[in-house]
């Protein structure tokens, strides 16, 4: 069953067209990853879904209900079902509140005052493998990994159907990243959660995502199952990103593919294929504008797709 359905999502700030028509869907219980360079629009997508960024065009349906353009009053009941994990774990926590108050705050916002807040804080901390006495701590007393776990606990408080996670492993040591990813996977399986994860880390994607979308200049350029894209990336941009992924095996033969220059300004998008000026595989006909084509569940926006 489709839980989240995003069609032609568009967001602009003044003259800057940040999202130029984003399309993807997430099934119940599925993890979907959005990948791309900084500035590609990934974070804007999930903020627009959550109603935290403007969305001037397109459609966002959650559980069959249109939520794009919904007022805060209309969104409030849906906050129980859509939770957000922010990129800066400590910065997103009020320094004046204890951890116990922070993770039970969603109950107070939703008017659920009959809950035993102390018991709920203990339960939520246990879910993310933190001891009960952490309820009395303040954000400045947490490590980065502990703050991430608190963010997970707060997101889970109202038993949501969907979690929007912005760079959930950013700034963490590799061992702590692994612990957090295992925790998220375990919670997804136990609670039946769906997740949209924003990340630069392709190893994270391979570990947790069922499907993935590759973003460039506010559009998806490739989408498919994580396995299919890692095994056979069809878009040159995807191939370049994967070739730059760190390889832990020191004896592995690496075939790095260098991109040309920097991403162009959103104020002056290139004509035709927007990636062609940086693409190492560009052809003369790439001056034309590619359309979005889907073949066996694999979506692609490219005039000269790559083969195996």
From first to last of its 308 residues, the chain has per-residue pLDDT tens of 899 999 999 999 988 999 999 999 999 999 999 999 888 999 999 999 999 999 999 999 999 999 998 888 888 888 889 999 988 888 889 999 999 999 999 998 888 888 899 999 999 999 888 999 999 999 999 988 899 889 989 998 888 999 999 988 887 777 777 788 888 888 888 888 999 999 888 888 888 899 999 999 999 999 999 999 999 999 999 998 988 776 655 555 667 777 778 888 888 899 999 999 999 899 999 999 999 999 888 999 999 998 75
What pLDDT is stored for residue 175 in this prediction?
A: 76
What pLDDT is stored for residue 1 in this prediction?
A: 86
Domains in the chain (CATH in brackets) are 2-81+160-300 (3.40.50.300), 96-158 (no CATH)
What pLDDT is stored for residue 247 in this prediction?
A: 63
What pLDDT is stored for residue 162 in this prediction?
A: 95
Give the gyration radius of the chain's Cα atoms. 20
Global pTM value? 0.91
Residue 126: count of CB within 10 angstroms of its CB: 12
């Amino acid at each position: 069953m489709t839980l989240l359905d995003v069609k032609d999502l568009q967001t602009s700030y003044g003259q800057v067209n940040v999202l130029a028509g984003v399309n993807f869907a997430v099934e119940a219980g599925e993890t979907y990853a959005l990948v791309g360079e900084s500035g590609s629009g990934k974070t804007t997508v999930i903020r627009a879904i959550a109603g935290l960024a403007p969305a001037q065009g397109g459609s966002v349906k959650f559980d069959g209900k249109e939520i794009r353009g919904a007022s805060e009053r209309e969104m409030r009941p849906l906050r129980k079902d859509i939770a957000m994990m922010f990129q800066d774990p400590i910065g997103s926590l009020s320094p004046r509140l204890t951890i116990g108050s922070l993770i039970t705050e969603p109950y107070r916002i939703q008017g659920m005052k009959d809950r035993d807040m102390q018991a709920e804080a203990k339960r939520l901390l246990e879910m993310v493998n933190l001891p009960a006495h952490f309820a009395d701590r303040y954000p400045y007393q947490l490590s980065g990994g502990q703050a991430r776990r608190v963010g997970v606990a707060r997101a889970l408080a109202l038993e949501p159907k969907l979690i929007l996670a912005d760079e959930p492993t950013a700034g963490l040591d590799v061992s702590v990243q692994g612990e957090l990813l295992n925790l998220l996977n375990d919670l997804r399986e136990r609670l039946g959660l769906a997740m949209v994860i924003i990340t630069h880390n392709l190893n994270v994607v391979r570990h947790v995502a069922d499907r993935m979308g590759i973003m460039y200049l506010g559009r998806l350029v490739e989408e498919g199952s994580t396995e299919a894209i890692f095994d056979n990336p069809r878009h040159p941009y995807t191939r370049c990103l994967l070739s730059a992924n760190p390889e832990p095996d020191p004896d592995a033969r690496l075939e790095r593919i260098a991109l040309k220059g920097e991403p162009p300004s959103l104020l002056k998008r290139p004509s035709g294929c927007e990636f062609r000026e940086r693409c190492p595989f560009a052809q003369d006909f790439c001056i034309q504008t590619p359309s979005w084509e889907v073949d066996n569940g694999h979506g692609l926006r490219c005039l000269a797709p790559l083969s195996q």
